[in-house]
Each structure stands twice: as C-alpha cells, then as structure tokens.
Amino acid sequence: MPDLSTSYAGLTLRSPIIIGSSDLTDSVRKIQQLEESGAGAVVLGSIFEEEIALEHESVMAGLRAQGRDLIDYDSYEYHIRAQHLDSVTQLIRDAKKSVSIPVIASINCVYSHEWTTFAKFLEDAGADALELNMFFLPSDMSRDSKETENLYFEVIRRVRQEISIPIIVKMSYYFSSLLQLIRRICDSGVAGVVMFNRFYSPDFDIDKMEIMSSKVLSSPEEFPISLRWVALSYGRISCEIAASTGIHDSTAMIKQFLAGAQVVQVVSALYMHRRGYVRTMLDELETWMDRKGFGCLDDFRGKLSQAESKDPALFERVQFMKFFQGPGRG
C-alpha cells in the first residue's frame, strides 16, 4: 500500500486531502465523517469580522426603528462578536476531543487589530494552525501596489507576534509580481500558502437587469490557474503549498502533486458529491501510485514543476500562437 502521509505547514497529515474552509466543516459530526472518509485535516469556516459588523448594524437599525435609546446597547457589538467567537472556539474544543486529524481555524478580518485578537482566541481554543483568509481587493485607485502589499505583511507580522501555532496564508492571485510576493510572504515566517482562494464574483441577470452572484461552486476547468503557479513556486519558496480551486477529481489532485503541491484543498467537489468522495479520490490516488511504482508522495512530488521539468519554458508561455497556426487555421 502506498504511504499517503505528508507534512504540511508544520503538521503531520495521514493523507494529503484537506477539506477547505466552508460550512462542510461547521459541526463536529461533519468533521468526524470527513475524518472517517480519509481527510488529512479540515479548515473551519472563516470568522468574518465584516459579518459581525454587518450583524451589529442591522440590529442597531432595528432598534433605531423601534425608537429605542441606542446608548443602552453600547456594548452590543462586543456581545455579537463574543457570540461568533464562542461558537467557533467551542467547535474547535469539541472537535479536538472527537477527531485526531488537525483542525485549522480561519479568519478574515477587515481592521488589522482584530486579526490578532481573533487569532489568540483560536489558538487558545486548541486550533492546530491558523489560515489567514486575506484579500484586499486592489480597487482603490489612490493606493499603489506597494501600499496594498504592505497591508498583508503588517497583518502577518502582528499575528506572528501573538500566536505560536503555524500560520498559513490563503492567497489570491491578484498581484502584479505574484511569484515574488509569494516568496516574500513565505520569508515573513509563514508555514504554508494556499494557492488560491476563489472569491465571490458579480454576474448580471440580463432579464431582470440586476447584479447577481456568479457560481458559488468552482468547476473542474479552474484548476490550471493554480497548477501553473504551484509549478513555478515549487523548490523556490520556503513554505509548503496547498493547491486549491477546481480540484474535483483524483486526476487534478495528482497533477497538483506533480506540480509540487504538498497537499490539496477540496470544497466544491464535496458539495457536488457525497462526503465519502474523499475516499474515492484517495483510492484512485493509491491505484495510480501502485501502477507507477511510487511508494510515497515524495517519490513524484514536483516532478513536473518548472524547477524539475525538462521543458521549463512551457510554464511561462501565455499565448496560444501555435494552437492557431495548425493546418486549416489560416
């Protein structure tokens, strides 16, 4: 039997499939089922600071409409914040008693001082690592790229001062010097990077002439975006890579390991299939490794990365020139 165990961001995992941050992991029962089906670790849904602020605003608007004196509700935001934190910290405590796989907490905050407060609570509750779901949309025309990038480093610096569990950064790819930024993030003391997060995107309903949400779940066609950057990063950065987005089957997962991923994160595929789908993906990985004669993941990890491939230039190709120059294409 091939050995599927792996290290990742200072953790030891029995398998390389991590269930990504989402409500797939929002109860102990679900986490137990994921462990039973072979998951190597789970990431809990993020604590969204913005969500707490919005909930507070909506409660205050309701009270205002009833003509209440808002002075009486001065500390209400702290109350809502405590409720959100309590439910996540309780989940971490209960999960840690019930499963043996690592439980990774996740935070997404807007104001930098909150990142550190939340991080400390999650560490104290027993989280094995902390994933920073960080994304500052570069839409502010008055802020240059350096200023935006500095925000990331400031958050990492502050969180590092506060906690000692491994820190993982869940990245976006909206950076002009992406590879350099990934390297700098790793050099700032981060143990792992998730490449990449997938964000809410607006779409239009052309009948109602309204803005709506684009598809919440990814499609299998999306995985080559991270494949390129995983392959370009492997062997050149100081932290381990979790490939994410569009990994819907064992073939996509194996490709990410060949590119150099340490682990993969899976979300949409599990919403589309049953939770036991993790087992199917692992069985197929084992069958493939057996067929190829690989005893462990390190036997083939990174073999098609840019650093190790025989044709490194292919990773830097961005135009389809030759494709359109074939016979009959003018």
Ligand X SMILES: Cc1cc2nc3c(=O)[nH]c(=O)nc-3n(C[C@H](O)[C@H](O)[C@H](O)COP(=O)(O)O)c2cc1C
Contacting residues toward ligand X, per CB under 6 A: 20-23, 45-46, 106, 133, 170, 197-198, 216-218, 244-247, 266-269
Beta carbons of 14 and 75 less than 8 angstroms apart? no
Q: Which residue is it, tokens 């039973």?
A: 36
How far apart (Å, rounded) are the C-alpha atoms in residues 184 and 150? 11
The nearest distance, CB 193 to ligand X, in angstroms, is 13
Q: Which is nearer to ligand X, 70 or 217 (CB)?
A: 217
The nearest distance, CB 130 to ligand X, in angstroms, is 12
Q: Bridge partners of 76?
A: none
The nearest distance, CB 244 to ligand X, in angstroms, is 5
Residues sharing a CB contact under 8 Å with residue 24, sequence separation 6 or more, in sequence order? 30, 34, 42, 267, 270, 271, 275
The nearest distance, CB 323 to ligand X, in angstroms, is 26
The nearest distance, CB 328 to ligand X, in angstroms, is 36
How far apart (Å, rounded) are the C-alpha atoms in residues 141 and 163? 34
Q: Which is nearer to ligand X, 253 or 294 (CB)?
A: 253
Q: Which is nearer to ligand X, 24 or 294 (CB)?
A: 24
Identity at 138, one-letter amino acid code: P
How far apart (Å, rounded) are the C-alpha atoms in residues 55 and 49? 10
Q: Which two tokens stand for residue 75?
A: 């500390």
Q: Which is nearer to ligand X, 285 or 294 (CB)?
A: 285
Q: Which two tokens stand for residue 19?
A: 């269930």
The nearest distance, CB 213 to ligand X, in angstroms, is 11
Query: 318: helix, coil or strand?
Result: coil
Q: Which is nearer to ligand X, 21 or 233 (CB)?
A: 21
Q: Which is nearer to ligand X, 103 or 266 (CB)?
A: 266
Beta carbons of 22 and 266 less than 8 angstroms apart? no
Q: Which residue is it, tokens 């993906």?
A: 281
